[in-house]
Amino acid sequence: MLGRILALTVKEFLALFKDKRSRFVVVIPPLIQLLVFGYAASFDLNHIPYAVYDRDGGYAARELLAHFQGAPSFELVRPIQRQEEIAELIDRRAALLVIQIPPRFTADLVSGRTAPVQVLIDGRNSNSAQIAQSDVSRILTGFNQDWIAQHQLQGMPVSLVTRAWYNPNLESRWFFVSGLVGLLTLVVTMMVTALSVAREREQGTFDQLLVTPLRPVEILIGKAMPGILIGTLEASLVVTLAVFWFKVPLTGGLGVLYSGILLFVLAAVGVGLMISSLAATLQQALLGAFLFLVPAVILSGFATPIDNMPDAVQTLTLVDPLRYYLVILRSVFLEGAGFELLLPQMWPLALIALATLAAAAWLFRHRMS
């Protein structure tokens, strides 16, 4: 059995790389997209969840926080009672930023001294962090102007101290390029697997496979292996370029990273084989892959933060494997997350991979019968 599967896998590689256009699709477009998106991509932000650690409790602190509550893009997640809650909220992405007001905030302002306010920002999405920092500065400027007008003071009564976690310099390329690992892995894996069976049918060689000693499950595995290997190699290539060309820090372990890569590639291969089993021609397979790729990218959070989407659309993103894969990639790259933190992303991705591969196997047997 292993020998037959190996022979079919070699045959699939030969058929793939013998075609000049197939070689071009596998190698050149991902590199071009990496360079273009790596330098040109950008995001917007209109929803900023934040938490408050008010260690003062005075009327000046309440007045300052009222300015944040009145801002349309800011949403208070919850007040914080202990210092340890700050890291937990940011790690879980429950809050994009935490406002910490020191104990003598009101006393310093009343006595005419400058009072510091600390803002801790999640820097994993550098663009969102920069926009949030700018919005916080604007709100504090408005508070300063109101306080000066009320008390007839000179100078700025409140000073802002900002610290970005996981991306101290707010390099936007760190966020974009780490996400491109997922996007380009999906594109290449989908193209390789979605065209596999459809190409055989269009060339008239699929019927020849059916009369070989290969069983349906062996044909399915042989068709899946090139996608799995090429998807993993493609991800490795983009990770290498991200680290050594774009200087994106890889702070997590390779074991965690490649566990996520393998689960995602299996899910993408399952979707690709489903499309390939249903398509009768290469044109239909390309159209099916395109119809899956565009919604998958849009719903993944790569271009638009998921929190900005309507509730119904956010529910729909739960079946998108790219959503979980992007979180795994960015968590491993930027914050060095391990298996214990990424388990909530790993098990849904594993379920999606199992479901898509099972559906592909059923469709494959159904179409062969």
Convert the pLDDT of each residue in 295-313 to its tens digit. 888 888 776 777 767 778 7
pLDDT average, residue stretch 265-287: 83
Q: How confident is the model at residue 41 (pLDDT cuts 50, 70, 90)?
A: very low
Q: In whole angstroms, how large is the CA radius of gyration of the chain?
A: 26
Token pair 């193209």 is found at 191
Q: How confident is the model at residue 42 (pLDDT cuts 50, 70, 90)?
A: very low
Please name each of the domains of the chain with its CATH number.
2-40+171-368 (no CATH), 48-165 (3.40.1710.10)
Query: Are 233 and 225 a contacting pair, CB within 8 Å?
Result: no
- Give the alpha-carbon dihedral of 317, 28, 36, 306, to 10 degrees: 0
Inform me whether the pLDDT recorded for 348 exceeds 90: yes
Average pLDDT score over the chain:
79
For residues 25 and 306, the model is more confident at 306
Per DSSP, 92 falls in state T
Inform me whether the pLDDT recorded for 259 exceeds 90: yes
For residue 40, the model assigns a pLDDT of 41
Q: In what order do the strands lie in the sheet with 48-54?
A: 74-79, 48-54, 97-101, 115-122, 158-165
For residue 158, the model assigns a pLDDT of 57
pTM: 0.65
